[in-house]
Amino acid sequence: MNTQPNTILLTGATGYVGGRLLPTLLADGHAVRALARNPDRAQLPAEVEVVRGDVIKGEGLDAALDGIDVAYYFVHSMGRGSGRTSEFAANDRRGAANFGRAAKAAGVRRVIYLGGLDAADDDVSEHLKSRHETAEVLREHVDELVYVRAAMILGQGSASFEMLSHLVRRLPAMLTPKWVDTRSQPVAIRDVVRTLHTLADLDEVPAEVELGGADVLTYREMMEHFARVAGKRTPTIVRVPVLSPRLSSYWVSLFTPVESGLVRPLVDGMSAETVVRHPPPPEINPDPLGFDDAVREALAEAAR
């Protein structure tokens, strides 16, 4: 374990995971530089150095990565805004290539990328394929890439968790396609942040880290568990064979506050089983929270 503070570049510092990771890095004494397309809008702690840059355009990356030991790459354009899936995927490839080349030129020791836990085959969604492809493009350029592959993240503010929460709270009954019985291994945001933090300090790291919680559950079981923990009536769930991902996305958009551009990729991704098959070394994500405890933490945070 490296006990010396690092100089860290954090992309996505104002996003969900990056925003949770930032305070832990600062508390540990690391010097943190944040990359932002609009630094004036980035409301970050005073001790964070904010630099202007855009990975898709390749602007500002040389200066941002100068003197950096460890860089976190939390950039995903898929599902946000408007446009076709192929355009988002092309943007993600371009951004990863620009960032990877700049990181190599700057002599960055390690790049940590957060993607999805999935089978990365022909059966998964275009969204999940794109996230996996981003890791492959980064690895072409970066000597030491740590590809963290997380299952559904449980925490207040996580799009997947918000979707689950609002469906259970607002719908007494729902018709669902076959993904309702797909298995997943959801992981608490606290365990995701702890793992990402640990990976900056370890002397030796694996090339890939599969990250999941203590429990393997189907989406049906998750909704049942959530209802019990939240003290809500368990919704009646009827699986039907004819409900397409497009139709599923429509009713999810109606009953949840999740950004509309994210709903379809999230629903598409539910068809892929996201279960840890190759556990990380024991020093990475030891004793992860179970589903019920992660939900309790999220609900307690929301109540504050």
> How many domains does the structure of the chain reveal?
1
Check: CB of residue 270 under 8 Å from CB of residue 179. yes
Average pLDDT over every residue of 105-123: 83
Is 121 a domain residue? yes
Pairing of strands 153-154, 187-188: parallel
Tokens of 286: 């030891």
Is 242 a domain residue? no
Residue 22 belongs to domain with CATH number: 3.40.50.720
Is 39 a domain residue? yes
CB burial readout 275-304, b (16+ within 10 A) else e: bbeeebeeebbeebbbbebbbebbeeeeee
Is 225 a domain residue? no
End-to-end alpha-carbon separation of the chain, Å?
A: 35
Is 76 a domain residue? yes
Q: Report pLDDT for 126.
A: 67
Is 160 a domain residue? no
Q: Report pLDDT for 224.
A: 93
Question: Is the pLDDT score of 6 beyond 70?
Answer: yes
Question: Is the pLDDT score of 294 beyond 70?
Answer: yes
Check: CB of residue 158 under 8 Å from CB of residue 166. no
pLDDT tens-digit series, residues 179-227: 788 899 999 999 999 999 999 999 999 999 999 999 999 999 999 999 9
Average pLDDT over every residue of 148-174: 88
Q: Report pLDDT for 150.
A: 94
Q: Which of 140-144, 172-176, 240-244 has the highest mean pLDDT?
A: 140-144
**Domain limits at 64?**
7-153+186-212+274-287
Least confident of 41-45, 130-134, 228-232: 130-134
| Rounded Cα gap, residues 208 and 71, in angstroms | 16
Pairing of strands 145-150, 49-52: unpaired
Using alpha carbons, select from 60, 136, 137, 52 the residue that is nearest to residue 94. 137
pLDDT tens-digit series, residues 226-245: 999 999 998 888 777 655 55
| More confident call, 14 vs 251 | 14
**Strand, helix or coil for residue 145:** strand
